[in-house]
Every structure is written in C-alpha cells, then in structure tokens.
Chain A
Amino acid sequence: MSPEKMTRMANQIATFFESQPDADKAGSVAAHLKEFWEPRMLEKLAAHLKTGGEGLSPLALEASKRVTA
C-alpha cells in the first residue's frame, strides 16, 4: 500500500470524527483504526510516523501515534 493511499484512508477517518461531538476525537480515530486495520497496516502506519508522518492531518497524526504506541 502506497503511503499516499494509507494517509488518505487515515485522514478520511479523522475527517469523520473531527465532525463528531466526541470529547476525545483522537481516541475515537485510534479506536476505529484498532478495530478495522490489520496489524500489518498499523505497522506501516508506525513506519510512516517514524519518517515524519507526512500527509497525515493533525488529528490523524495524533490518533496514529496513539494506536501505534
């Protein structure tokens, strides 16, 4: 999976939760990632974060950090 595709998918999820009233939006995004993304995909996300997480929206970035921590 190309980094662009991965960041687009993560950003799409973040965009949805951005609009929700959830108190902890990053937590909701992280929970969604954990629920639906296979570990290989999360590993790729972690690797992408290591190199700066380019292209991830601020909320997606925050959530990615939590889910890969």
Chain B
Amino acid sequence: MKDFIIPTSKDMDMGTPASKSTEMVTLTIDGFDVTVPEGTSVMRASAEAGIQVPKLCATDSVEAFGSCRLCVVEIEGRRGTPASCTTPVTSGMVVKTQSSKVKKIRKGVMELYISDHPLDCLTCSANGDCELQDMAGMVGLRDVRYEAVANHFEARDTSGEANAQFIPKDDSNPYFTYDPAKCIVCSRCVRACEEVQGTFALTIEGMGFNSRVSAGAGGDDFLSSDCVSCGACVQACPTATLQEKSVIEMGTPERSVITTCAYCGVGCSFKAELNGDDLVRMVPYKHGEANRGHSCVKGRFAWGYANHSDRILNPMIRDKITDPWKEVSWDEAISYTAKRLRDLQAKHGVKSIGGITSSRCTNEETYLVQKMIRSTFGNNNTDTCARVCHSPTGYGLKTTFGTSAGTQNFDSVEETDVVIIIGANPTDGHPVFASRLKKRLRQGAKLIVIDPRRTDIVKSAHIEAQHHLPLLPGTNVAVMSSIAHVIVTEGLMDEEFIRTRCDWDEFAHYAEFISDPRHAPEATAMLTGVDPQELRAAAKLFATGGNGSIYYGLGVTEHSQGSTTVMAIANLAMMTGNLGKNGVGVNPLRGQNNVQGACDMGSFPHELPGYRHVSDDATREVFEAIWGGKIDPEPGLRIPNMLDAAVDGTFKGLYCQGEDILQSDPDTKHVQAGLAAMECVIVHDLFLNETANYAHVFLPGSTFLEKDGTFTNAERRINRVRKVMAPKNGYADWEITMMLANAMDAGWTYTHPSQIMDEIAATTPGFANVNYEMLETRGSVQWPCNDDKPDGSPIMHVDGFARGKGQFIITEYVATDEKTGPRFPLLLTTGRTLSQYNVGAQTRRTENVVWHEEDVLEIHPHDAEVRGVRDGQYVRLASRAGETQLRAKITDRVSTGVVYTTFHHPDTQANVITTDYSDWATNCPEYKVTAVQVALSNGPSEWQEDYNAQAAQSRRILPAAE
C-alpha cells in the first residue's frame, strides 16, 4: 500500500490480510508477547506489535505470495529462515525479526532488485512514496556489488543497440501509467486485480528474468485489455510502475481528508489527498466499511469535473427562457427568486410552487429543501429523484416488513451461499459491491441471475451463474411468483421461520394463491420466455442452498408492477427464512449515492422525515414545534404530478436542486411541456444541465469536495462527506438553500451542517443518537441508531420485523399496458455502464468518455438482420412517445425481441422514447419496458435537431457588464 507519504498508524500496511478466526494464539516476537487470531501471519503479528518486517511482495489487501524473500525471520526450533508473510503463527512460537543472518539475506535480496532498477529516485514520480526506496533504506543497502549483464530499464545498451528487454511506458489508460522499466515483478498488481477487483486482467508472462506484467493478451495495452480501471493494482504497486498520472503531474500530496464518494449507492470511503487545495488523488480508504479499501473508476479517478471549464460559478437570471442569461450577484439572484416565487403564490395559490431534491445531495441539504418547501413555501410539493428509481422499494418493504430499509450490510455478502440478482447489473452499476460478491462466488457461493440481458456477472473470469433466467422485460412478477410456486408446492419453505416470524394464517392464504397451477413455471413460460426446467432448478437451489440473499436494482422497481415485484421479493425471503442474520436478506442496490438518505430525509410529498405520513398529527406536531407554523396535512405533488399540474396551469414554480429532470425523467416531450409551462424554474446545479434550458434562475452548486455533510448508502450507512476545499462558487449548497429560505422569511440561523443533523436527530427516531461527534469517532453508523440500538443496525429484523409479524402479500401478475404490436414490435429496456454515471453531467466531463463516448443500442443479430442493420450503423429508434437516433451494436447479450440502451448522453436522449406509464403504487416510471421499432436512419431526428437548436439558444450567457 503506497500510503507512506501520509502515514498514520491506523493506515499502516499490515502486510497480510486480517484473519477472521476467533481462536487466539500467543507468541513472542523480539521478546514481546503478542496475541493474535489463529491464521495470522508472523508478519502481521509483528506489525500488530509495532514491529515492521521489511517486505516487498506482501501487502494487506491480498493474500501473501512469498516471492521476494525480503521478509525472512528466524524462528526458534525451525531450520532456515522462513518468510514471515507466508508463515502462520503458532502458540508459543519465538520469532526474531532481526539477526545478522536475516540482515545479510535481506541486503542480498535488495542488491539484486536494485541492480535491475534505474537509480533516478530524485526525479521519479514515486519519490517519497515508494516501498522499494523505503526498503533499501530499512535494510541499510549502501552499495550494489552486482554489475548487471542485462537489465530491463535501459532503452539501449552502452553500444547503442536497442535493449530487447526494454518495454516502453504504456500510458493508454487516461488515469495511470504502466512503466515496465520500474517493475520488480512482485505480482501485487496481478493479485489485486484477481483478489480485490476480480477482473483477472493482468498476468505475469514469461519465467525468471523474462517475467513481465502483462495486461490482457499479446498486443493489448491497458486500455484495450479487460481492465476496468478500478485502480486496485495502482494502489497495490510498491513502486512507480503503476502510478496515477495526477501524481506524475502534480507531485506527491501532503495532506489528506477522509470523505465519501458522490457517485453510486455503495458509498465508498476515500482519502482525498491534496497539495494545498489542489486535489492530487482519491485513494480508497481501507477502513471504509462499505468498500474495505476498494474503489471503481468513477470514485477513484473521475473527479476532474469539479474543475471543468463548463462549471458555472456565478448566479444567473433571466425573465424569459428565450432571453440570454445575465450574471448577477448572489444577493440579486436570491431576492429576484424569492420575489418571483412569492408573486406566483400570491397569484396562483400557496400550492402553485414546489421543489425537487436530489439523491446526489447530502442528507442535510435534502432535509433543508423539504423543510423549506413544507414550512416556508407552506405546502408538501417536495419530491426527489428517488421517485424515479426506488420509490417502489419504499412502498413494498414498508408493507411487508414495516420499514423501507434494505436489510443487510455489504459485509453480509461474505457469508452468503446462494445469491439471486434480479434487475441489477452490479459490475456496472455498483462495481465495488460486485467485486465483493465475485470474491464470495469464487469461494463457491452459487448465483442465479434474473435479467433480460446476459450481464457481465452472468459469466466472467472464474465466475459463472448456475442459472440465468433471461425473462422478457415486464414479467418480473410472473417469474418471482413461479419461483415461489415451486418452493411452496414442493414444500421447501422454512415453516419454523414462517410460524414464528409471520402470520401463519396469512401465509396459508398466500400459499393457496401461489400454489395455483397458473403460477407454475410451465404456465408462465409463455409470458416470460423463461425455460421452466431452469426456473425450477433455480428455485430449488435458492430454497435449499444455505444462506440465500436477494440483490435487486432498478430492473425491479422501474415497472408498472415495481412495487408488486418488491413485495414478491420480500415474500420469497420470508418463506425461505432468509432474514435477520448475516448472509441473507433483501438488498436494494440504490442507484445514486444518497437515494437512501433522500428518502429518509422526508423528501417524498406524503412523508415527513423518518417515513411518517403528513396526515399524522403527532408527527406534524414534532416538526411544527421546531419549525414554527403549520404543516399541510395533505400529500403534495409527486414529480410526474407536478409536470401534469404545470401543463394544466396550476403549478407554476419549481426549485430543482442537483437534478436534471429533463434528461433523467421519462417521456422527455412531456417534461419539456411541463417545464415550458412554468413561470419560474430555478436550477441549482454545477452545470447548465438540460433542465436549465427551461430555467429562469441558475444557482451554481458546489461539489462534494466543497462542503460538509453526510451521505447514507444502500446499506443505511451514514458516512461523512468532508469539505476538502473552499466552494468555487462561493457557497456550499446548504447555505444557498438557506439564503433562499431566509429571503422568504424563514429566519434560519444554521452555521454548520452538524446543526442540521442535530435537528434531524431531534425529530427522527431512527437517527436519535446520530451526530457529527459520534461519526468523527466511529467513522460511520448504520441507522436505526438510537437508545435501543446505540451502535446502529448492521442487520435489520433480527428478533422480529419492524411491523411485528412479516406480511405475505398476494402478487398477481398484471401485464403492462405497454405492449408490442405491429408498429412497435420490440421491447426496449434501459440501463447504465460502469464508466458513466446517471445523466453523465459529471462523468461526461472527465476522461471516462474514452470508455463510453456515446449511447448505443444493443440489438440481437437476428433482429438486426431482418432490418438490414449492420454493426455501428445509425438507426432510428421510435416508440409511441417519440423517436431518436443512435448507433447500433449487434450482440447476443440481448435476446431476440429485446433491445437495450443507456441514458448517459443528452444527444441521444433515450427518454424521448420512454413513456409516461408508471408503477401502480408510487408513480415510479416504467423505464424498463417500452415498445419500439428500429429502422435504418438517415440522420438525426427532427426532434433532435429542434432540441439542439433550442438548447444552444437557451445556453447563451451575456458577457458580464464591465
């Protein structure tokens, strides 16, 4: 671990991974007694005692390998000098880490390494951050006696002949370089890629002196190999061989701040390493409990957007959206906005305005926005983008278990035996979780994937799903019901669990329903396209294979039966007894970083913080006592309802924080119409996003690097976000919301987000014991965290369900109204890729575009052939909602009849195609099923051209007045 430059004892590299054993062993090292868990290496035991044994090929993120022999020690009663990294401790062992014998060996080893290493330390990018340097110092290397006959680092020998062993630097990856001249072939990178990331992109080619690290097959460089740029190898490399380009450019950092990734719902902890306020690199934090020292390309490398020239740093206003923007002072922008909003309310009523919070913002920001809407605007028209992703999770899990929370922590995956993944693509959407899952799968856990596409997790290096059920989009409920049918009719349920934890009579009723032959896999195969034998085998495996866990994503929720599928998942977990312990559970993989938090913080129009309905008098009184004034007891408008009401003329003003509804929400034309009908749209964001084309006020936002706060990840873990630099736009987002609220007479006086958290704790029982001081000492905590659970709750429903007894719900399959027909014979489903994030506003402004520069349409070879479509050609994609144009990619990952695309780029605007159909319970849009037609295209659609013209027109900014 190259963390030497900013050493803190906590971050010290212990050499080998921790042992999980509970048996303790005591031994003596250099005269000190040390007690460690059985299975610990002698190297790690020494480190625990504060004694560092020199090492090169060992690091605590990967298993020891024992190749460098720098770590040799003497052990009483043993012959020779064993390597301390590969020797496990035994009781009573007596170890000497220093002796003339081992010192001599170590020096010899170092001499050999250094004889084949360039001695340009002073100008090397790893200077001060290199373990080879450190070790040379530690073993007291003073001269190198060997004259190397051949080496790997000189491009030419002394006679000017090219050195056949020299391989030039590979800088194909945009974020790090591979310089073989500096490689000591310790294979830490290879092992990190295998063990930590699970991609197996690297190998050691050749033998002995000829052995080299190689990415992919011959001829591949890092970019063209399977490498997903997670950075694990860079982190593991002890030398400058694998090095961040930012460090090469900027030098080694001198201070670090622990913070949380602002991309996906895994919520990885990072050390932001800086020089002054220049961010040099983000390094995954090994004590982060969500990621345990791992990261993906987004959090690790894609932070350059924070300094992108597109970022808007001054507030702007305009009277009409056809006007160019005018830069103004913060004071002017805020008072202008407040006046426009109050005027609208005076003219069209208190309920004519509202706001949208983002799951990208912190808990404190989200809390403030909904507070402003409920208490300052005086209505409940607050919603969050979680509406369009996980609102069915909220409804479904609350109905069945009594609380809308995922049941596990991420560590739980280490104890699972059978995993169902449904409607999620973790290797792209939740990469660090996927790496942890793959590690467990390589240890033998079984995998069932339910997804229309053959996603990467179905089959990749050393992983293969036992069953892949490629269902037709829109038939999740039918498939889940069939699985339950098999389990119930074959008597494979966990009767004891059901009797003690659920209501048996209710289950009996459910069992009668689900046993009906119409749910048999043979009967539903017609609808779902899933092979009944395969489904039966999968059901049996899940019910009988040990600890069973279910992980799901937006492929479950974004359907007209999204909430029903969530309840079907909950039924399945209950009937197999897979709740309330490690290795099991119902695990919603949340899309954005703070989806969980946004929901917790009361951003839904019907719920105050802590999931309490606005009609509940007691809850309203709690908030009224602190906020002052009355809270409306009627639910407010949800995002789709706001747009409908805008078109109807009763909704006129919208405050939109950190959210780009025009690009991310379905049925773009309808969103456009809604926005165009409003008289005051306020966009609070980093960039002039698509929604801003219809905005009258633009309030520049701050990045996650520029503010304090907390994010709550998919496992309910509250992680600190720390300000590592001053906001470039002048204010943190919570301050901007406060300025607006105060301009509308709120009278708020917060001076730090910790005070907002204190208010959350005072009003919301699940957060009662959460405060910044505690997060400072603990690092993070999983809610509920209160007097009942002072240490938080890694696993939910341990002794009983939040609602008492778990409730089985009848899950009748209802076909979506979105049906294929002669005009639109194919089904479109949508998703995301690893390198891009959501609407791409951030990731498109980083080097990540080398991996995904445009959205493409995946289409099966058969469907392509009948339409005369060739790979890479532009095609026209049309639905009853609209049409667009993008490139085709021919692949059998999708079945015939199904096409697939992503929604990261505004040029394609996949959401022009998606419809306004939605989940029955929550109005979560049905992104995942749209009937479409695909045809060869002859250029951008008329709509695309109009859209681009309007966008260009709308983004004009008047030069600032002198």
Chain B residues with CB under 8 A of A38: 351, 380-381, 605, 634-638, 641, 645
Chain A residue with the shortest CB-CB distance to B379: A38
| Interface segment, one of B291-299, B689-697, B915-923 | B915-923
Which residues of chain B from 623 to 643 have a CB within 8 Å of any chain A CB?
A: 634-638, 641
**B613 close to A (CB within 8 Å):** yes
**A46 close to B (CB within 8 Å):** no
Which residues of chain A from 1 to 18 have a CB within 8 Å of any chain B CB?
A: 1, 5, 8-9, 12-13, 15-16
**A21 close to B (CB within 8 Å):** yes
| Interface segment, one of B277-285, B330-338, B810-818, B819-827 | B810-818
Q: Is the CB of B921 within 8 A of A16?
A: yes
**B650 close to A (CB within 8 Å):** yes
Q: Is the CB of B921 within 8 A of A32?
A: yes
Chain B residues with CB under 8 A of A41: 637, 641
Chain A residue with the shortest CB-CB distance to B567: A16
- Mask: chain B, 197-238; 1 = CB below 8 Å from A; 0 = not: 000000000000000000000000000000000000000000
Q: Is the CB of A1 within 8 A of B645?
A: yes
**B737 close to A (CB within 8 Å):** no
**B156 close to A (CB within 8 Å):** no
Q: Is the CB of B606 within 8 A of A21?
A: no
**B644 close to A (CB within 8 Å):** yes
Chain A residues with CB under 8 A of B809: 20
Q: Is the CB of B637 within 8 A of A21?
A: no
With contacts A12-B920, A40-B650 taken as known, whether A21 is within 8 angstroms of B509 at the C-beta atoms is yes
Which residue of the partner chain, among A13, A16, A35, A39, contacts B613 with CB atoms under 8 Å?
Answer: A35
Chain B residues with CB under 8 A of A12: 560, 814, 920
**B409 close to A (CB within 8 Å):** no
- Considering the chains assembled together, what is the distance between the CA atoms of A55 and B647 in angstroms? 22
Chain A residues with CB under 8 A of B648: 1
Chain B residues with CB under 8 A of A8: 817, 917
- Considering the chains assembled together, what is the distance between the CA atoms of A16 and B561 in angstroms? 9
Tally of chain B residues near chain A (CB < 8 A):
33
**B425 close to A (CB within 8 Å):** no
**B177 close to A (CB within 8 Å):** no
Q: Is the CB of B351 within 8 A of A40?
A: yes
Listed residue (B615, B809, B920, B922) with the most chain A CB atoms within 10 angstroms of its CB:
B920
**B902 close to A (CB within 8 Å):** no
Q: Is the CB of A16 within 8 A of B920?
A: yes
**B954 close to A (CB within 8 Å):** no
- Considering the chains assembled together, what is the distance between the CA atoms of A29 and B251 in angstroms? 64
Q: Is the CB of A1 within 8 A of B814?
A: no
Q: Is the CB of B635 within 8 A of A20?
A: no
- Considering the chains assembled together, what is the distance between the CA atoms of A16 and B606 in angstroms? 20
- Considering the chains assembled together, what is the distance between the CA atoms of A32 and B399 in angstroms? 12
- Considering the chains assembled together, what is the distance between the CA atoms of A20 and B921 in angstroms? 14
Which residues of chain B from 539 to 564 have a CB within 8 Å of any chain A CB?
A: 560, 564
Chain B residue with the shortest CB-CB distance to A11: B920
- Considering the chains assembled together, what is the distance between the CA atoms of A56 and B637 in angstroms? 22
Q: Is the CB of A1 within 8 A of B606?
A: no
Chain A residue with the shortest CB-CB distance to B604: A36
With contacts A5-B916, A38-B641 taken as known, whether A13 is within 8 angstroms of B635 at the C-beta atoms is no
- Considering the chains assembled together, what is the distance between the CA atoms of A37 and B634 in angstroms? 9
- Considering the chains assembled together, what is the distance between the CA atoms of A22 and B509 in angstroms? 12
Q: Which residues of B contact A (CB under 8 A)?
A: 351, 380-381, 509, 560, 564, 605-606, 613, 615, 634-638, 641, 644-645, 647-648, 650, 809-810, 812, 814, 817, 916-918, 920-923
Can you identify 12 A-B contacts, CB atoms within 8 angstroms? Answer: A9-B918, A12-B814, A15-B814, A15-B920, A16-B564, A16-B812, A35-B615, A38-B638, A39-B634, A40-B645, A41-B637, A41-B641
Q: Which residues of A contact B (CB under 8 A)?
A: 1, 5, 8-9, 12-13, 15-16, 19-21, 32, 35-41
Known pairs A1-B645, A36-B922, A40-B351. 18 more at Cβ < 8 A?
A1-B644, A5-B916, A9-B920, A12-B560, A12-B814, A12-B920, A15-B814, A16-B814, A16-B921, A19-B810, A21-B509, A21-B810, A32-B921, A35-B606, A36-B921, A38-B381, A38-B637, A40-B637
Closest 8 pairs (CB-CB, A-B) = A12-B920, A19-B812, A1-B644, A38-B637, A19-B810, A39-B634, A16-B920, A13-B920
